[in-house]
Amino acid sequence: MTEEDAKRRLRAEILAARRRLTDDERRAAGRALAARALELPELARARTVAAYVSVGSEPETRALLDALRGRGVRVLLPVLREDDDLDWGEYRGADALVARPLGAGRMTLLEPGGAPDGVEAVLAADVVLLPGLAVDRGGLRLGRGGGSYDRVLARLDAAGAAPALVVLLHDAELRDTVPAEPHDRPVTAAVTPSGLHRFG
């Protein structure tokens, strides 16, 4: 089995487990996740955080976004471009988010309204909160496979930027190993509802 086949199989397993969670379980996990994430020293010191609005069965992020904004942190959210790269715009509260359907049967993204600040805006981030499906004990993250965040991480590397990279997950998504390829970059930490997990 190739690494890509192994990734595909693990993605399907985790997405199926996420779909089994009830709305109440997701909300409770989101509140716990926000409380845990706010314990990270990197977030306590951050002036700018690149984050995302959770969709579907992803661990809920809205409580965390509002808490960061309430602390005076500038929160940047991704805006998906036609080429699957990410522009960034400032989060100005839930009422300012714009729904963007991705096509028949696909998810709807919530993005900041207004003109985006460009793909380079992420370089100002002290912390980048990454979506993911799993992370292993070495900090290797399994994403959805679209490549958008691989481009973001490559851009950070090329610019010599070194923000803390933090993935937000459900507890069962911390694994001993995940399939990895040479371009996969380890994250600094993972946050789950039950705790903080540091790597490296």
Tokens 């976004």 belong to which residue?
65
Q: Structure pTM?
A: 0.94
Q: Which domain holds residue 153?
A: 3-198
Helix, strand, coil shares of the chain as percentages rounded to 5? 35, 25, 40
Q: CATH number for the domain including 44?
A: 3.40.50.10420
The total number of structural domains in the chain stands at 1
Contact 123/161 with Cβ under 8 angstroms? Answer: yes
Contact 61/129 with Cβ under 8 angstroms? Answer: yes
Tokens 């540091």 belong to which residue?
198
Single-letter amino acid code for the residue at 186 = P
pLDDT tens across the length of the chain (200 residues)? 788 889 999 999 999 999 999 989 988 999 999 999 999 999 999 999 999 999 888 999 999 999 999 999 999 999 999 999 999 999 999 999 999 887 655 678 899 988 899 999 999 999 999 999 999 999 999 988 888 999 999 999 999 999 999 999 999 999 999 998 887 889 999 999 999 999 97
**And the tokens for 91?**
């989060």
